[in-house]
Amino acid sequence: MSGLTHKIVDMSEIHKFIFEGLPVRGAVVRLTDAWTEILRRRASNTTHGAYPPPVQSLLGEMTAAAVLMQSNIKFNGAMVVQVFGDGPVKLAVVEVQSDFSLRATATVNGEIDPHASLSQMVNVGNEGRCAITLDPQDRQPGQQPYQGVVPLFGDAREKLEKFSDVLQHYMLQSEQLDTTLVLAADDKVAAGLLIQRLPMAGRGNLSGRASQADEDQIGRNEDYKRIAILAASLKRDELLTLDVETILHRLFWEEQLLRFEPLQGETGPRFSCSCSRERVARMLQGLGQAEADSILQEREVIEVGCDYCGVQYRFDAVDAAQIFMGTPLPLPPAPLQ
């Protein structure tokens, strides 16, 4: 190192494992640089500014969860986790590609109490929703991405106050998968632990809703129950402050874990935004020339900022003329709603 400061890079990582001989799998994700990059870009965005702490926690937990779920499926495309809120948080969205490049953003309108609960942010009038979308990389025009949507309520119509509960409920209701999730996020780390009972052989998730008998059967596995109880004993601050080895040892030292090579660095979770000037130009085309001209008359330049990465795209009258004179660009993919 010859006197140069050796910079220790705290890399984001995913550790997957299975419980040997048992129909249970798991994963731990710890996002450090990938998460702080999202926060740094938001904080330096003069239009929005830093997230209030409860929004930061929600978005961090969603990001960790989206990485866990992407790591759990064989799928070439984007895993998109969205919360559509009816309170001061209108939208929180995380997109994780199959190569674990990811981005996330939230739309906040109005004041947020520093101790605001999940429902006070996104489910004030009982209209909040969580959507999980799988958008294939090679999606054909007209093909709809796969999407499941759940309200932010439990089985007894109680408002759910933890995002992990929303997802556990989603996994059971929509995918018939018994899942235990522990999620936590602060201004440095977004982390999560997922434990899932492997689907039973010959029973896919495509046949619609499971019957009550099926659901009882799902919960009846003693091995899964034992491991789920251990997993659920993990505290938020342990998840945020302990390294993965320590977490797994503390929780599962009596279990036989088969570990996979962790994914980190180039192959691990990392921030990346897929926005481009061309995409914004296509969006302006969709807006129409009249609208673009009227903005240009007011401000001389059309400015479009990317909510994910903060990049500002500027189009002056010459740029706009090119957009509307040129051959029509292909339409952007349908927005995910």
Asked if 183 interacts with Zn ion (CB under 5 A), we say no
Asked if 102 interacts with Zn ion (CB under 5 A), we say no
Nearer to Zn ion, 105 or 179 (CB): 105
Nearer to Zn ion, 67 or 273 (CB): 273
- Amino acid letter, residue 49: G
CB of 103 to Zn ion, least distance (A): 7
Task: Give the Cβ contact number of residue 76 at 10 Å.
Answer: 11
Nearer to Zn ion, 69 or 306 (CB): 306
Per the CB < 8 A criterion, the answer to whether 260 and 209 are in contact is: no
Nearer to Zn ion, 92 or 306 (CB): 306
Per the CB < 8 A criterion, the answer to whether 274 and 291 are in contact is: no
Per the CB < 8 A criterion, the answer to whether 94 and 257 are in contact is: no
Q: Is 327 helix (H, G, I), strand (E, B) or coil?
A: coil
- Amino acid letter, residue 267: T
Pairing of strands 270-271, 24-31: unpaired
Per the CB < 8 A criterion, the answer to whether 135 and 78 are in contact is: yes
CB of 275 to Zn ion, least distance (A): 3
| DSSP string for residues in 105-142 | EEEE-S---TT--HHHHH-TTS--EEEEEEEETTPPTT
CB of 101 to Zn ion, least distance (A): 12
CB of 216 to Zn ion, least distance (A): 46
Nearer to Zn ion, 189 or 309 (CB): 309
Nearer to Zn ion, 25 or 42 (CB): 42
Close Cβ partners of 193 (under 8 Å, ≥ 6 residues apart): 26, 27, 28, 180, 181, 182, 231, 234, 239, 247, 251
Of 24, 102, 309, 323, the residue at the interface with Zn ion (CB under 5 A) is: 309
Segment lying near Zn ion (by CB under 5 A), choices 113-121, 199-207, 235-243, 301-309: 301-309
Of 19, 51, 170, 308, the residue at the interface with Zn ion (CB under 5 A) is: 308
The CA-atom distances, in angstroms, between 116 and each of 17, 51, 58, 152, 162 are 35, 13, 11, 16, 12
CB of 308 to Zn ion, least distance (A): 4
Asked if 228 interacts with Zn ion (CB under 5 A), we say no
Per the CB < 8 A criterion, the answer to whether 124 and 86 are in contact is: yes
Residues in contact with Zn ion, counted by CB under 5 A, come to a total of 5
Asked if 38 interacts with Zn ion (CB under 5 A), we say no
Segment lying near Zn ion (by CB under 5 A), choices 54-62, 184-192, 222-230, 302-310: 302-310
Per the CB < 8 A criterion, the answer to whether 170 and 130 are in contact is: yes
Asked if 304 interacts with Zn ion (CB under 5 A), we say no
Of 65, 104, 190, 273, the residue at the interface with Zn ion (CB under 5 A) is: 273
Rounded to the nearest 5°, which phi and psi values hold at 50? -60, 155
CB of 182 to Zn ion, least distance (A): 30
Of 38, 66, 190, 306, the residue at the interface with Zn ion (CB under 5 A) is: 306
Pairing of strands 101-108, 270-271: parallel
CB of 311 to Zn ion, least distance (A): 5
CB of 82 to Zn ion, least distance (A): 17
Asked if 281 interacts with Zn ion (CB under 5 A), we say no
Asked if 239 interacts with Zn ion (CB under 5 A), we say no
Q: Where are the alpha helices (DSSP H) in the chain?
A: 33-43, 53-71, 118-122, 163-175, 212-219, 222-232, 236-241, 244-252, 277-287, 289-299, 317-325
CB of 157 to Zn ion, least distance (A): 39
Asked if 104 interacts with Zn ion (CB under 5 A), we say no
Of 275, 287, 295, 304, the residue at the interface with Zn ion (CB under 5 A) is: 275
Contact footprint for Zn ion (CB under 5 A): 273, 275, 306, 308-309
